[in-house]
Amino acid sequence: MAWQKIEPETTSDIWDFDKNPELIGEFVGKQENVGANNSNLYTFKTETGELVSVWGSAVIDARLKNVQEGDKIKIVYLGETKSQKTGRIYKDYEIYKEVNEV
């Protein structure tokens, strides 16, 4: 019997928030338990049609937990912030969902 390793789908580039601190795109889907840290990997389709992915973190996972496929999302990287509770440094983001105004 032979075994073939199954890798997560990597049909998209990883978004670099240090180079481009703002990402706007349509949420395409989420993969769970990806990579060495068993992280979430979120995929977006940009306005140019490019597929890009964003690694999850405590901040990103919490804010994207109720996002549905097809939602238009804007993620803004705010830089590193120090937690007042723990004193740890973490990457902070603001995340927006496009809504239709009535």
7 — pLDDT class (breaks 50, 70, 90): low
Q: How confident is the model over 50-76, as pLDDT tens digits?
A: 999 999 999 999 999 999 999 999 999
Is residue 34 within 8 Å of residue 56, measured between CB atoms?
Answer: no
- Residue 12 tokens, joined: 């998209």
- Residue 85 tokens, joined: 């509770």
Give pTM, 2 decimals: 0.82
- Average model confidence (pLDDT) across the chain: 90
Q: How confident is the model over 22-41, as pLDDT tens digits?
A: 999 999 999 999 888 889 99
Angle at 77 between CA 42 and CA 97, to 5 degrees: 60
Place of tokens 């990103």: 60
